Amino acid sequence: MGPHPAVADVRRAVRAALAGLPSGSLALVAASGGADSLALAAAAGFEAPRTGLAAGLLTVDHGLQEGSAAQAATVVRLASRLGLDPAEALRVEVGRTGGPEAAARDARYAALEGAAERLGAAAVLLGHTRDDQAETVLLGLARGSGTRSLSGMSAESGLYRRPLLELSRATTRAACAALGLDPWDDPHNADPRFTRVRVRERVLPVLEGELGPGVAEALARTARQCREDADALDAWAESAFASAQEAAREAAREAAREAAREAAQDAAPEAGGDFAHSDIALAVAELAGLPGAVRRRVLRRAAVAAGSPAGSVSSAHILAVDRLLTDWRGQRGIDLPAGVVAVRRYGTLILARKPG
C-alpha cells in the first residue's frame, strides 16, 4: 500500500521542486512547526536522499511571544525524526519598519539567507500553500499596486523555492495527520490585528460563501497568469531601458562631436552630452512609442537605478514622470524619493540626485 494521498501529493510537489539542484547539494526547509512547513519538512526528509541531495531544517524564533524559544527548540528536535540534518533555530530581533508583519518578514528572510550562505545551501524551501497565494493576491488587489503585485509569490525566486503553491492548506493538514505529526498553531495566525489574518478568517470565507467554493484556487490561477504577463512585460521593459540608455549615450556623443566641430565645447552639457556617472539618461524617442505598461516599467526601473528606494516610488511618481514624455509642455522637473529629480532636456530624460 502506498502513502496517504495527501502525503503523496506533498512528496510529489517537493520532488519537482528539488529537481535540478546539483547532486550532493543541501536544501534547507524553513519550518515554523505549523502544518504547512511540517508537511514540507517531512516530504523533504523523505525525498532529498532519494534524489542525491541533503536536507536540513531552519526555524526562526522571532521572540515576539512567550515560549517562542521553546517552540523553536521543539521544531529542531523534530528534525532528526524527519531525516533532516543540519537543524538550527535562528533567533532574530524584529524591528518596526513597515509595521509588525513586514518587520518580522524582513528579519526572518535575512536570517534564512544568512544561515543558507553559512551552511552552503543551494535552496531554501518555504511552506506557502495555494491558500497563502490567494491571500497574497487579495492583499495586492486591495493595494491597487498592479500586475506584479497580483502575480503573488513565485514558485522559485533566487534561493527560495515554494513547492506547495499548488496544494491547499487542507492537504498539508491531512498529510501531517497521516504521518502522525502534531502541528503547532501559531497564535499570531489567528490574531485579527494582522491584515493577512483578517483576509484569511473573514474575507475569503465571505467570498467562498457568496461566490461558491473554489475562490482560493481561482485566485491562485489568476496569480499564475498575472505572473506570466508581468514577467513578459518586465523583460520587454528591461530591453527598452537598455536601448533608451544607449540611444541617449549616442546622442550625447554626437552632441559632443558637433560641439567640437564648432569649437564650442561649453555647449556640450547643454546639448545633453555631460552626464554624471550616477545619472540615468534615456532617449525620449525610444520611450515615446512604447505601450504605457512597458514605458512606465522603464521609468520605475530608471528611478530606482538613479537612487530612489524601490518601495518609496509610487504610481503617482511614475505617472508624473511619464507626463514628461507623453504631455510635454516644457514643465519643470519631477521630484522623486531620496532626492532624485527627473527632467527632460533636448530629447533626453535625465534622472539624477540633486547636488548636495
- Please give the full DSSP string across 165-205, using - where no structure is assigned: TTS-HHHHHHHHHHHT------GGGG-TTSHHHHIIIIIHH
What does the block give as the cell for 246?
544607449
- Determine if residue 33 is labeled as part of a ligand binding site: yes
- Determine if residue 229 is labeled as part of a ligand binding site: no
Q: Which candidate, 144, 143, 300, 151, places its Cα nearest to that of 237?
A: 300
- Determine if residue 266 is labeled as part of a ligand binding site: no
- Determine if residue 37 is labeled as part of a ligand binding site: yes
Q: At what angle do helices 35-47 and 169-179 cross, to 10 degrees?
A: 60
Cα dist from 355 to 51, 97, 219, 324, 345, whole Å: 56, 28, 46, 21, 18
- In 18-46, which positions are buried (b, 16+ CB within 10 angstroms) versus exposed (e)? beebeeeebbbbbbbbbbbbbbbbbbbbb
Taking the C-alpha atoms of residue 278 and residue 82, their distance in angstroms, rounded to an integer, is 51
Taking the C-alpha atoms of residue 251 and residue 271, their distance in angstroms, rounded to an integer, is 9
Taking the C-alpha atoms of residue 217 and residue 222, their distance in angstroms, rounded to an integer, is 9
Q: Report whether 347 contacts 341 (CB < 8 A).
A: no
- Determine if residue 151 is labeled as part of a ligand binding site: no
- Determine if residue 278 is labeled as part of a ligand binding site: no
DSSP code of residue 55: E
Residues paired with 283 in a beta bridge: 348
Taking the C-alpha atoms of residue 40 and residue 44, their distance in angstroms, rounded to an integer, is 6
Q: Which candidate, 151, 126, 155, places its Cα nearest to that of 137?
A: 151
Give binding residues for ATP as ranges: 32-37
Give binding residues as ranges: 32-37
